[in-house]
Structure formats: structure tokens, C-alpha cells
């Protein structure tokens, strides 16, 4: 019988659905294993062959684990909120829900064809109110919590209120925005609004004034990567830095735990390193400096100085003697306080310039800009007067937003000093303070202990580390500084001025936010007539009519009813893309639970994700946010594991293999275009043109299909070297514009899903990026045909031959080991070798061929099921038991030894593997070939090294 993959695959895909083959439930008798893919955003373009790479890799692992006796959870869903559907809605008026629904249907159809073992009953969609109810719920919990630094966990805000009532801010150690101080009496005398304002400073979800990339043209805040050279990536509208009230999540409070958790998970070193850098722990010192600011000139002669003080953060306290100036971040509050009257104009001009620059520009640009404030700082060690400047290289969100500049030891300070002609004091005599030395060191600091200075203390002879420690102690003892750990990790901005996202379950009373009661969740996204901002610049939800909260009746009501007494306005922002993806892995455990995000039983059974597969591009977004979100839920016992993803595998990218045709240059466009084949292209002046790879097979152009592709090619002419038109090729990003997108549907139609699955894995290691090359797919398809053929014979129950036993057991060992290492390409090679061997051996042994089916089932599940049924097995091959390798079959039956004389190798002999040393010795000595080497000599001794050599020593 022919291998009719189309029929077979359809049959089994239907059977799996009918028999609910992939449905899973908690089963205490089995050990759980949770496999998860980063769920896709269902884009309009559908899947290309690059997308399923990770899904196939995890599917193989999930199926393998099931065969190994685990109870495997392998769910799938959609990250369904997002910008593209909304942009499309703005352009066409089509509701994003409709676009999304359509795209999901298409994704589902494509996914189904590949034969994944997803339990579709557990599907989640982030835009489904039943799902986002729990996103809103978690947000409310965060609003009602603060972070206790002593307990190192989230606690209810009620505990904080109790603390304020009893002690005010005394003995308070809670993560906070600004540092505030008040007594219990102060607290009790505040009115409701004042108290709410204070609490906002501590909540884990809080409304904060933050600097954002504001794009007035689009009416929204943009993420850093959506801004290019000061304008929006889409539309090119100007973007300015603006302080705006936004919902924020206090991710920074979890910085240390996010860092510590990395030691406990199995992720690649590079992934962990990226997260560590993103979190950016830095241990340093905060040091107080006095400031002197000139006041307006008195009597036209001299100016008076006003005294103040400010704090800087440094990691190199040991360089205090090398400070020659100070720098403030342009956004620092100190700018207002320390700018002298006569410098005001210049400072303001400078601030206006900085406003146009994003933080990203500021960090990546090496441009040196700045302005002098007119004020001075006083070095607490030397009493020296140091000019205070403002410059964009100092960031407001880091440390204290003010630095002491040590140009001899820091390249940014150095560049600044050079540019503005400020002094540079090397701390060791003869230190190389030249531009070249900084270029060579690229921002690293010169390690040098500070010099001894009279009256202070001596750091001579200390290492930098010791010098820093000594300075820290000194400033702490003197009360002019303190040890400080800083993190680069910022709180996450959680508001978007967009329609297609989760609404905040929040209403406003006297300008302060209140949560709608938990039992009223979800607060559903309202319908609006258009998807853009309102004419008055409010976010799109400003268009919703029934969008006010009736506090008394606990329900939504018309906006016209707002009286700010019992009916209040609702929040108009929506949540960002990462909201819905932050806890979806928990929901899959218990997707239909109406009482909880995840019920206790399900959570305790599934615990966390054992294997997470997805792209590296989520290193600093999703993988930080979801770890934070999970830790928060863990603090309250809603999630039983602190780390959500035990093992992470990052699949590589599949690049496209583009094809080109070579058009002969010709200015006369009225003539039909002429194309030359690759082999002739150098004989003409040509322009390479991308051609749709679907019109090319093995680099040979389907000329008729090409002519039909575009009207302008209808009458195209071709100059050929042979009888075929051969195209050129290149490896590029897989993208529509390069016409190199390969649709899995097309491959499946031609070769079947099993071939597609095998081939994607055969391309190379899962983690590596590699080009898609349709030319190689035939090999995998031929292999499956050969595999199929093995079963088109009468199977025998007789004992198997030794060779066949060896072939199959070798394969069991190899495939089991390779799957554990995600080395699927080598496993597939081993399959190919084994099937060849079995073919040559004319193997018809039922037991061995049965094992072979189980082994291939994770890779090519359809063919495995079909043949499983054919050989008379009941049920699905998914429920079989993974075969165990019997090492005894692997033993070699014969060994080859090299026979040497006085250490010189002369010839080879073959023995049965179990021949003893004595017999080998005898046989070697007595071999005919030995006589000429022994002739006339006496054998002194014979050394036999088992499995290797026999050395005959003679004199």
C-alpha cells in the first residue's frame, strides 16, 4: 500500500478530536509534566514555517514525556489583544474583535494541520472577559498591596494603614516612591483624599508621575522601541518626553528576588545574563554634598550664596579625591533649586532640547551636551568648590539623578570634561588620562587606589575594593553617606491610551482611583463608534457612552449620570500587551474555574511550567513581567511556586531562503522584460529581482507560474543556459517583502505534516537560527516512505536477529538521550540509519517494529498511529510505554585487534567478542603472517590489550 499521508493525517486528526486523545486532567497516580509554548499573537498574515518550530520541538517533548509515563499538560491559546488589530480598526473601521476572531480561526486551522497534542479544551484568549477578569483581579490585588522590605513579600495595604495609625512612618520599611515622613497623629488628622494620596506612594499598582514618550499626533504613549529619532515609528509624528500620570507596577520592589530566582532555574546562561543586566544590581554609596547657589546680585556688587545640600550615588567612593565637577539629570528636581538666576535662560533652552530626546537616544548617543547651573558643590573630603552642571548623560530614574564626576576615571565624565574644558585630576601620578586610553578601555574605569590626603585617611596600598570599603565606612561613620544598593530595573508603566486592551476596573472619586468591587468583575470593554482618541485628546474609551460607575447600585451606567456623588467616571486607559500574558500559564491549569484564577487543587498538582519554549526577544519584557506577577501571586499563596518557568528553551529563528531572477537592464519599459538564468548573468548587465519562492523548485523557476504571477511578466522572455531557468538565492529574514515566506499549509499539502515536523527538526539544533531550504525536504519524505515500507509485509513473532536487536536498541538509546537534550536533528539521523539497517536486514520482527513505532511517535505522530493500528495494536500509540534499551544487545559480537611486533603495527585480526586473552595470544603467535616477524628471534612476552592491540615482544 502507498503512503497516503493526506488521508492518514486527516483520519488521525479527526480521531484524536473524537477520542479526546489529548485531554488531560489532574491524576494523582501520575507525575505531572507541564509543557508550554509562548502563546502567539494571531496576526493577519497567518503562520509561516518559522512559527511552528518551537511548537514542534515542545510537542515532541510533550509526547515523549507522556510515553515515559508522565501526565502531560500541553495547552495553547492566544495573546489576542494588541496593536495591529487596532491599527487595522482605525484604518478600516472593522472592529478589532472581528479581526482577531478571524485571525484566530485561521491560526487554529493551520495549527490543527500540524498534528499537535494540545488540549484545546484549555484554550485561553486574553481578550475574553472570562479570562481578563483575572487580569483585572490581580491588578486590584496589587493596588491593595504594598511591599514589605523586611518580610520580602507583598502584604495587604491594610497592614500599612495600621502601621500609619500606630506609628506614622516611624520604623517603616516598605517599598516606596518618594521618601515621606509623618507621625501617627499627622496621619489621623488627614482627610480621606490626603490619606489616599499618601497610600499611592506605597501601592504595588500605583498611579505615578512618570516620564513617558508622548506622541500628541497619535494621542498615545509609545514604548521606547516605537520611537525612532524622536518621531513615532508609525506615521513619523514628533514624540516628546512628558511627565504623565500613569498606572505603574512596582516591579522594582521585586528586583532582588527576580535576581535570586535566576539561580534556581534552568535557563541558558545568556538568557540569565540578559536578565541580570536588565535588573542591574549595583552596590554603591550615597554621599551628601553641600551646595552653594548664588542669589541675585545685591547693591550691584556681589552675590550672596544660598546653602543647600544634595545626595549623589557612586559605585566608586574611593575616587572622592578625583572629583572635579558635579552633574545633575535634566529632570532632577535639583535643577530648579540649584539654577542661578542668571543661568536660567540657558538652562531652560537646554531642558527644551533634552525633552525631545528619548532615554534610549540619551544612552546610546555619545554626543556631549550640557549646561552650567551657576551653583557649586562642596567636596566633603577636601572642601573644594565643584561646579554643578546639567547633562543628559545623567539619567533621572537612576540612583539619585545626581553624580560626582571623576573625569580621570570615568569615560563619560572624561568626555564631558574635555568638551567643556573642566579639570581632570589623575589619582595616581603618571596615570594615562588621554582620549586613546579611554577609547581602549571603552568605559571601564582605571583601577587605582586613591592617594593619601592630609587630614583625612590613608587608602594607600589598598586595592580598589578595599579602598571602596574603607571610604564607605568613613562616610557612614561621619554621617555624610550610606551604603546603597541600586537596581536599574524600573517600575513598569502599565497604562496605554488604546482601545484594544483590558479596561482598568477603576473609577475616580475626587481625582483619586477606587476599585470597583471584586464581585463585579470582569469590567467588560465597552463598545465605541471609532477606535481613535476623542477630539479633546482623551483615549478611545472616552467615546464610550455607558462608561460610568454607579457606586450605590454597583453597576455600569451612562456617562451623563455622572454626579460625582454616587456615579463616577471610569478609567479611560487600558492595560498594555504584557498584562494578559503575565499569568496565562496559571489559567491553563484550571481554565474554567469561575471562583479563582486557578483552584488550589489544580495549582498544587500542576505547580509550574516544567518546560517553556519561546523566543529570546522576550528576555526583558514578558519573562520579567510574568516572573514578577507570579512572585506577587506566590506571596499570597495563589501560586504555589515562586518561579513560573523551571526550564526555558529558546528556539532559533528560521530565516528565509530567497530566490532571484536576473532581469536584463533595459530602459525601454514598453518591451517585455528579459531574464537570464543564473549561469549567464555575468554576461549581461542585470538587476536581481526577488521572486516568490513558491514559484521555484530546487532553484528552478516554474516559468509558466512566473508569467502568471504578475501582469508585467506575462510576456517575459528567458535566456537559458540549459533547458531550465536557474534562480539565484540568498538567506534573509523570512518576510512577505522578500517573497520568501513558506506557508506550512503548502508543505503539508505536498509532503504531509509528519514530513514537515521531521524536516523542521532536521534543519539543525532547535536553539540555532537556520535558513529554511525546501530543497532538503525530499530526504525526510523519502525516509518516511521507507519507514512505511517496513510495515508493508507480514510481521513475524519469531525471535529477532542479533543485528536487528542491536539496530533498534542502539536507536532507543540514542533517541532517548537526544530528546532529553533537545538534539532532535541527531535523533532523526539515527532513525534514518536504523531504518536503512532494518531494511537491509529484511527485519520483519513484530516486537522490534512495534518499538520503532513508539520511538517515532513523538516526531511523526500520524504515521505512527496508522501503523500502530495496522500491526493490530489497540488504542493510541500515545498511550504506549517508551521502550527501554537493553545494553546487552549493543555489545559488539566481534572485535578487531591490531597485532604489533616490538611496538610496530603489522596486521589486523578479528575475534569473537568473548575470546579470552590466552586464546588471543595463541592465535596471534600462531598466525601465518606472524612468522616472518618472529623468524630467528625469541618471543620475550606477549601483551594483550583487550579490544585494542596485541604486542609481541621478541629479541
- Using CB under 6 A, list all residues that contact ligand ANZ: 282, 284, 313-316, 319, 329, 394-395, 398-399, 401, 403-404, 406, 409-410, 445, 486
Which among 570, 542, 568, 642 is positioned nearest to 136, based on CA atoms? 570
Q: Which is nearer to ligand ANZ, 431 or 730 (CB)?
A: 431
User: Least distance (Å) from ligand ANZ to the CB of residue 617?
Assistant: 24
CA distance 105 to 111: 10
Q: How far is the CB of 409 from ligand ANZ (least distance, A)?
A: 3
> Among residues 277 and 836, whose Cβ is nearest to ligand ANZ?
277
- Whether the upstream peptide bond of residue 520 has omega within 30° of 0, thus cis, is no
Nearer of residues 18 and 442 to ligand ANZ, judged by Cβ: 442
155 versus 329: smaller Cβ distance to ligand ANZ = 329
CA gap 791, 844 in Å, rounded: 8
Nearer to ligand ANZ by Cβ, of 346 and 359: the residue is: 359
**What separation in angstroms does the CA of 296 have from each of 293, 638, 645?**
10, 60, 61
CB of 313 to ligand ANZ, least distance (A): 5
The least distance separating ligand ANZ from the CB of residue 406, rounded to whole angstroms, comes to 4
At its nearest, how many Å lie between ligand ANZ and the CB of residue 491?
16
For the bound state, the minimum distance from the C-beta of residue 622 to ligand ANZ, rounded and expressed in Å, comes to 25
Please report how close the Cβ of residue 430 comes to ligand ANZ at its closest, in angstroms: 17
Cα-based distances in Å from 35 to 72, 270, 915: 7, 22, 49
Helix, strand or coil, per DSSP, at residue 549: strand
- Look up cell 519584557; give the residue: 621
Cell of 811: 536507536
CB 802 within 8 A of CB 864: no
Q: Could you write out the DSSP letters of every residue in 473-527?
A: HHHHHHTSEEEEEEE-PPPEE--BS-SSSPBP-EEEETTEEEEPPGGG---PPPP
Least separation in angstroms between residue 490's CB and ligand ANZ is 12
d(C-alpha 494, C-alpha 571), whole Å: 13
Shortest Å, Cβ 328 to ligand ANZ: 9
Taking the least distance from each CB to ligand ANZ, the nearer of 281 and 785 is 281
Distance CA 287, CA 484 (A): 10
Question: CB of residue 438 vs ligand ANZ: minimum separation in angstroms?
Answer: 11
Do 720 and 728 touch, CB atoms closer than 8 A? no
For ligand ANZ, give the closer residue by CB, 82 or 377. Answer: 377
Q: Which residue from 287, 359, 354 is spatially nearest to 323, judged by alpha carbons?
A: 287
Closest to ligand ANZ by CB, 279 or 696:
279
Report residue 213: phi and psi, to 5°: -85, 100
User: Toward ligand ANZ, which CB reaches closer, 228 or 424?
Assistant: 424
- Residue 115 or 401 having the CB closest to ligand ANZ: 401
User: Cβ 280 to ligand ANZ, closest distance in Å?
Assistant: 6
Say if residues 530 and 539 touch (Cβ distance below 8 Å). Answer: no
Contact predicate 518/137, CB 8 Å: yes
Number of helices and strands in the chain (H, E):
30, 36
Set of cell numbers at residue 778: 525530499
How far is the first Cα of the chain from the last one, in angstroms, to the nearest whole number?
69
Pick 119 or 410: Cβ nearer ligand ANZ: 410
Please spell the DSSP secondary structure of 423-443, one letter per residue.
----SSTT---SHHHHHHHTT
Any idea what the Cα angle at residue 662 is, between residues 661 and 667, rounded to 5°? 130
**Grid coordinates belonging to 17:** 478530536
Residues 752, 744 contacting (CB under 8 angstroms): no
**Nearer to ligand ANZ among residue 391 and residue 774 (C-beta):** 391
Q: Please tell me what DSSP assigns to residue 902.
A: T
Tell me how far, at minimum, the Cβ of 314 lies from ligand ANZ, in Å. 3
Annotated binding residue at 10?
A: no
Please report which residue ranges of 772-801 form alpha helices under DSSP H: 777-790
Nearest residue to 54 via CA among 813, 683, 714, 616? 616
Contacts of 847 (CB under 8 A, 6+ apart): 797, 800
From residue 533, alpha-carbon distances to 217, 218, 547 in Å are 10, 8, 15
Q: Give 227-251 as a DSSP string.
A: EETTEETTTT-B-EEEEEEEEEE-G
**Minimal distance, residue 384 CB to ligand ANZ, in Å:** 15
Query: Cβ closer to ligand ANZ: 125 or 362?
Result: 362
List phi, psi (to 5°) of 389: -110, 170
- Burial of residue 269, with CB atoms counted within 10 A of its CB: 0-12 exposed, 13-18 middle, 19 or more buried: exposed
Residue positions counted in the chain: 955
Q: What is the 3-state composition of the chain as percent helix, strand, coil, each rounded to the nearest 5?
A: 40, 20, 40
d(CA 145, CA 241): 30
Q: Measured from the CB atom, is 71 or 319 closer to ligand ANZ?
A: 319
Shortest spacing between CB 397 and ligand ANZ, in angstroms: 7
Binding annotation for ATP: 736
Binding annotation: 736
Amino acid at each position: 500500500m502507498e503512503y497516503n499521508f493526506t488521508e492518514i493525517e486527516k483520519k488521525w486528526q479527526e480521531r484524536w478530536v473524537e477520542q479526546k486523545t489529548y485531554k488531560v486532567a489532574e491524576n494523582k497516580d501520575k507525575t505531572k509534566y507541564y509543557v508550554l509554548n509562548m502563546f502567539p499573537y494571531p496576526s493577519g498574515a497567518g503562520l509561516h514555517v518559522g512559527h511552528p518550530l518551537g511548537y514542534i520541538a515542545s510537542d515532541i517533548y510533550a509526547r515523549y514525556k507522556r510515553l515515559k509515563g508522565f501526565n502531560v499538560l500541553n495547552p495553547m491559546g492566544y495573546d489576542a489583544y494588541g496593536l495591529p488589530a487596532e491599527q487595522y480598526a482605525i484604518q478600516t473601521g472593522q472592529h478589532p474583535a472581528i479581526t482577531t476572531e478571524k485571525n484566530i480561526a485561521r491560526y487554529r486551522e493551520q495549527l490543527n494541520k500540524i498534528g499537535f497534542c494540545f488540549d484545546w479544551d484549555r484554550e485561553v484568549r486574553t481578550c475574553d472577559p472570562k479570562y481578563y477578569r483575572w487580569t483585572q483581579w490581580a491588578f486590584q490585588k496589587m493596588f491593595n498591596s504594598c511591599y514589605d522590605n523586611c518580610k520580602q513579600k507583598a502584604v495587604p495595604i491594610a497592614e500599612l494603614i495600621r502601621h500609619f495609625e500606630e506609628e506614622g512612618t516611624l520604623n517603616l520599611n516598605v517599598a516606596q516612591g518618594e521618601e515621606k515622613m509623618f507621625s501617627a497623629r499627622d496621619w489621623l488628622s488627614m482627610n480621606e483624599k490626603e490619606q489616599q494620596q499618601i497610600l499611592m506612594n506605597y501601592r504595588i499598582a500605583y498611579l505615578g508621575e512618570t516620564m513617558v514618550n508622548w506622541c500628541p499626533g497619535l494621542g498615545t504613549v509609545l514604548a521606547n522601541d516605537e520611537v525612532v529619532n524622536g518621531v513615532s515609528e508609525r506615521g513619523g509624528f514628533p514624540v516628546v518626553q512628558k511627565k504623565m500620570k500613569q498606572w505603574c507596577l512596582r516591579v522594582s520592589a521585586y528586583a532582588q528576588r527576580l535576581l535570586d530566582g535566576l539561580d534556581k532555574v534552568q535557563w541558558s546562561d545568556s538568557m540569565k545574563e540578559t536578565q541580570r543586566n536588565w535588573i542591574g544590581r549595583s552596590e554603591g554609596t550615597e554621599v551628601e554634598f553641600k551646595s552653594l547657589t548664588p542669589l541675585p546680585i545685591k547693591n550691584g556688587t556681589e552675590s550672596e550664596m544660598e546653602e543647600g545640600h544634595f545626595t549623589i550615588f557612586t559605585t566608586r567612593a574611593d575616587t572622592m579625591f578625583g572629583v572635579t565637577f558635579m552633574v545633575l539629570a535634566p529632570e532632577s528636581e535639583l535643577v530648579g533649586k540649584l539654577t542661578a538666576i542668571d543661568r536660567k535662560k540657558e538652562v531652560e533652552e537646554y531642558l527644551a532640547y533634552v525633552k525631545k530626546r528619548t532615554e534610549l537616544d540619551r544612552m546610546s548617543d555619545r554626543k556631549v551636551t550640557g549646561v552650567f547651573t551657576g551653583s557649586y558643590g562642596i567636596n566633603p573630603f577636601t572642601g573644594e568648590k565643584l561646579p554643578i552642571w546639567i547633562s543628559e548623560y545623567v539619567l533621572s530614574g537612576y540612583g539619585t539623578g545626581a553624580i560626582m564626576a571623576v573625569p580621570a576615571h570615568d569615560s563619560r565624565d572624561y568626555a564631558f570634561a574635555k568638551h567643556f574644558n573642566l579639570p581632570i585630576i589623575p589619582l595616581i601620578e603618571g596615570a594615562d588620562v588621554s582620549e586613546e586610553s579611554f577609547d581602549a578601555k571603552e568605559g571601564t574605569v582605571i583601577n587605582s587606589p586613591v592617594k593619601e590626603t592630609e587630614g583625612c585617611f590613608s587608602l594607600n596600598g589598598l586595592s580598589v575594593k578595599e579602598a571602596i570599603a574603607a571610604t564607605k565606612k568613613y562616610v557612614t561613620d561621619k554621617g555624610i553617606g550610606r551604603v546603597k544598593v541600586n537596581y536599574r530595573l524600573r517600575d513598569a508603566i502599565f497604562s496605554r491610551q488604546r482601545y484594544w486592551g483590558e479596561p482598568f476596573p477603576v473609577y475616580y472619586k475626587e481625582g483619586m482611583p477606587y476599585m470597583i468591587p471584586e464581585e463585579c468583575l470582569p469590567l467588560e470593554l465597552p463598545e465605541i463608534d471609532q477606535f481613535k482618541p476623542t477630539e479633546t485628546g482623551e483615549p478611545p474609551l472616552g467615546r464610550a457612552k455607558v462608561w460610568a460607575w454607579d457606586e450605590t447600585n454597583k453597576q455600569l451606567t451612562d456617562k451623563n449620570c455622572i454626579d460625582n456623588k454616587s456615579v463616577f467616571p471610569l478609567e479611560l486607559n487600558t492595560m498594555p500587551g504584557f498584562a494578559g500574558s503575565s499569568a496565562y500559564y496559571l489559567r491553563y491549569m484550571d481554565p474554567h474555574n469561575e471562583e479563582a484564577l486557578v483552584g488550589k487543587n489544580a495549582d498544587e498538582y500542576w505547580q509550574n511550567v516544567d518546560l517553556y519554549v519561546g523566543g529570546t526577544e522576550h528576555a526583558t519584557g514578558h519573562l520579567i513581567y510574568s516572573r514578577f506577577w507570579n512572585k506577587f501571586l506566590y506571596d499570597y499563596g495563589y501560586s504555589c511556586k515562586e518561579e513560573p518557568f523551571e526550564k526555558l528553551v529558546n528556539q532559533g529563528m528560521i530565516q528565509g531562503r530567497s530566490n532571484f531572477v536576473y532581469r536584463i537592464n533595459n530602459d525601454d519599459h514598453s518591451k517585455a522584460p528579459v531574464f537570464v538564468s543564473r549561469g549567464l548573468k555575468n554576461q549581461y548587465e542585470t538587476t536581481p529581482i526577488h521572486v516568490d519562492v513558491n514559484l521555484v523548485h530546487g532553484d528552478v523557476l516554474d516559468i509558466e507560474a512566473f508569467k502568471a504571477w504578475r501582469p508585467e511578466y506575462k510576456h517575459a522572455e528567458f535566456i537559458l543556459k540549459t533547458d531550465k531557468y536557474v534562480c539565484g538565492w540568498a538567506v534573509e529574514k523570512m518576510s512577505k517583502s522578500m517573497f520568501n515566506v513558506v506557508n506550512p499549509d503548502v508543505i503539508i499539502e505536498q509532503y504531509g505534516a509528519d514530513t514537515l515536523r521531521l524536516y523542521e527538526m532536521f534543519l539543525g539544533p532547535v536553539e540555532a537560527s537556520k535558513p529554511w531550504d525546501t530543497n532538503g525536504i525530499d530526504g525526510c519524505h523519502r525516509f518516511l516512505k521507507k519507514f512505511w515500507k517496513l510495515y508493508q509485509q507480514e510481521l513475524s513473532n519469531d525471535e529477532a536477529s542479533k543485528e536487528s536487536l542491536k539496530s533498534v536498541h542502539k536507536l532507543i538509546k540514542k533517541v532517548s538521550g537526544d530528546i532529553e537534550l533537545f538534539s532532535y536533528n541527531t535523533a532523526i539521523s539515527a532513525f534514518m540509519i536504523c531504518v536503512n539497517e532494518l531494511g537491509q536486514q529484511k527485519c520483519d520482527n513484530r516486537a522490534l517494529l512495534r518499538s520503532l513505532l513508539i520511538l517515532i511517535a513523538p516526531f511523526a505522530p500520524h504515521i505512527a498511529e496508522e501503523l500502530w493500528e495496522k500491526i493490530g495494536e489497540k488504542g493510541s500509540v500515545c498511550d504506549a510505554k517508551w521502550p527501554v534499551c537493553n545494553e546487552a544487545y549493543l555489545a559488539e559480537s566481534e572485535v578487531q585487534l591490531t597485532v604489533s611486533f616490538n611496538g610496530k603495527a603489522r596486521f589486523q585480526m578479528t575475534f569473537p567478542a568473548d575470546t579470552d586473552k590466552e586464546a588471543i595470544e595463541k592465535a596471534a603467535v600462531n598466525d601465518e603472517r606472524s612468522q616472518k616477524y618472529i623468524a630467528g628471534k625469541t618471543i620475550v612476552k606477549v601483551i594483550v590489550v583487550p579490544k585494542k592491540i596485541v604486542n609481541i615482544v621478541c629479541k
